[in-house]
Amino acid sequence: MIMYYRQTVKLKNIDFKTVVAAFHDFKFVEFLTSLQPVKIIKWTGIKDGDIAYFKIWFFGWKNLFVTHKEYKKTDSSLSFIDFAENSFPFGIIIWSHTHEVRLENKSVLIIDDVNFTHRNKFLGILVYPILIIPIIVRKFLYRLYFYRRLFY
């Protein structure tokens, strides 16, 4: 069963280059995961072939491995995909999380587009909120991270 989630966060009065630089910065990844039961074991970046290895706690520590692919950067956009195939916990067969940062009408849009395939329809529905809530929380965390920087 294929599950989807997409969200867009619009940031006004934020420099596009600052947002793009943050996505390349390990401290930004630490910030996004700081309120979650997640341990970052290894993170090499977001370019093609770079990896992220996390441990996520859900009734015991589970390994989570993603490879970054389809890295694209222009003067007005950045995008890359976190991809995992048969290496994700919770019965996930394929995990794909596209990150996109786009300059549009003097605002910066951050788009998270997640889709994953689960072995079992019923279990897929049960784990959906567990996997999507950390993405939903980013609506708040993106704003907190970039707007607090305006005051420091």
pLDDT of 59 above 80:
no
Of the candidates 40, 52, 46, the one whose C-alpha atom is nearest the C-alpha of residue 23 is: 46
Give residue 61's pLDDT: 87
> Which residues neighbour 34 within 8 Å (Cβ) at sequence distance 6 or greater?
none
- pLDDT tops 90 at residue 137: yes
DSSP code string of 32-93:
HHTTSSEEEEEE--SSTT-EEEEEEESSSEEEEEEEEEEEEE-SSEEEEEEEEES--STTEE
- Closest listed residue to residue 145, CA positions, set 8, 44, 38, 14: 14
Does 58 have pLDDT greater than 90? no
DSSP state of 150: G
**Is-above-0.75 flag for pTM?**
yes
pLDDT category at 151 given cuts 50, 70, 90 is: low
